[in-house]
Amino acid sequence: MSQKSCLVIGANGFIGSHLVDALCKKGYFVKAFDRYTHAPQFTENKTVEVVKGDFFDDIVLGEAMKGVDYVFHTFSATTPFISDADPYKDISLNVLRNVQIFEKAVESNVKKIMYLSSGGAVYGHMAEQKNVTEDDAPMPVSPYGIGKLASEYYLEYFNRKYGLEYLAYRVTNPYGPRQIMKNSQGVIPAFLEKISKGEKLSIIGDGNSTRDYIYIEDAVNMIVDSFENKTKYRIYNTGSGIQTSVNDIVKTLEANLGIEAKLEYMEAPKTFLTKSQINVDRFTDEFHLGAKTTLSEGIRLLLKDAKI
């Protein structure tokens, strides 16, 4: 049997680079597509083909899709912060481009496309009220979440019209090595950087807001160990299933660093969610897979990698 091939779009990013490593470990041949503004973060070996190109270059991306069995779409041209400041960017740079990518997948006879969606952003206020399942109606309150949901709907359209198979993984808040340490790229790495530099942490609200945080290797292993299955559904919440407050994250970071954080509290904007409760039972019940790394252990591994 010939080796199956995967294309990872956004392969040198936080999630994408970990997917490349996880897919290689499982024996897949991987085309790692990215602009490569810095050296590859994943492990380079004979089962990885580095494909340098721009996400918006039709010719290069079309060539990369040729002969590929599976496509993992991890790239986003915006962050939640950027989208909130300029919704038009999310429409033009993500939603429109995603539709074009799905078209190319159909043209290239890709077997299945895996789309990295967002758990908290897609559900919006609904996740404040209850532990949301995939059967609950999404209520995104941010342009980022609206864009992710729109892309999911377009995948369903392409499935119905062209038979393009897909899975949308609504990943919660992944964290771990290789994550960019900026405010717009995740609370844990942003706080880690500021505490280590002795800078103040800007906390939205009173710090009691909660999210589902999942260690990156747990998240990608859940995806890699499930995507090739004949699944019951096309959309899966992918997280730890555990709620953690911002205050608890600060305490865990302080304990691991041995440093007391300087805190400042800010008024929460209208789009801010006090909770983002995500139910992962559909995924764990069907695949018998789940997160294994505790927050404390995940932060310890992150600190080890960051050499702080």
Q: Would the pLDDT of 135 be above 70?
A: yes
Together in a domain, 106 and 11: yes
For range 270-292, the mean pLDDT? 93
Together in a domain, 78 and 170: yes
What rounded mean pLDDT belongs to the chain? 94
Q: How much is the pLDDT for 185?
A: 66
Active site residue 162: no
Sheet holding 112-118, edge to edge: 48-52, 29-34, 5-9, 70-73, 112-118, 165-171, 235-238
Together in a domain, 71 and 51: yes
At 197-225, the pLDDT tens digits run 899 999 999 999 999 999 999 999 999 99
Range of the domain at 192: 183-210+243-276+295-306
At 48-95, the pLDDT tens digits run 999 999 999 999 999 999 999 999 999 998 888 788 889 999 999 999
Together in a domain, 128 and 188: no
Together in a domain, 187 and 235: no
Identified catalytic residue from 28, 115, 123, 144? 144
Q: Would the pLDDT of 184 be above 60?
A: no
At 16-37, the pLDDT tens digits run 999 999 999 999 999 999 999 9
In which residue are the tokens 């019940």 written?
285
Amino acid 154 reads Y
Q: Cβ distance 104 to 156 under 8 Å?
A: no
Q: How confident is the model at residue 308 (pLDDT cuts 50, 70, 90)?
A: low
